[in-house]
Amino acid sequence: MIKPHGSDTLNPLFVQDDAKRAALLKEAEGLPSIVVSSAAAGNAVMMGSGYFNPLTGFMNRADALSAAVNLKTTSGLFFPVPVVNVVKDASAIKGAKRIALRDPNVAGNPILAIQDVTAIEEFTDDEMKQMTEKVYRTTDPEHPGVAAFNSVGKFCISGPIQVLNFSYFEKEFGDTFRTAYQIRDEIKERGWNTVVAFQTRNPMHRAHEELCKMAMEAVKADGCVIHMLLGKLKKGDIPADVRDACIRKMVELYFPPNTVMVTGYGFDMLYAGPREAVLHALFRQNMGATHLIVGRDHAGVGDYYGPFDAQTVFKEEVPAGSLLIKIFEADHTAYSKKLNKVIMMCDGKDHQKEDWVLLSGTKVRAMLAEGQAPPPEFSRPEVAKILMNHYQAEAAKSNA
What residues act catalytically? 201-202
Interatomic CA distance for residues 85 and 160, integer angstroms? 11
Q: What is the CA radius of gyration of the chain?
A: 21
Enumerate the β-bridge partners of residue 265. 229
DSSP 3-state assignment of 374?
A: coil
Pair 156, 61: CB distance under 8 Å: yes
Those residues with Cβ within 8 angstroms of residue 97's Cβ, 6 or more apart along the chain or in another chain: 116, 117
Question: What CA dihedral angle connects 71, 283, 188 and 264, to 10 degrees?
Answer: -170
Interatomic CA distance for residues 324 and 115, integer angstroms? 30
Interatomic CA distance for residues 37 and 151, integer angstroms? 9
How distant is the alpha carbon of residue 107 from its chain centre?
Answer: 24
CA angle (103, 106, 112) in 5-degree steps: 30
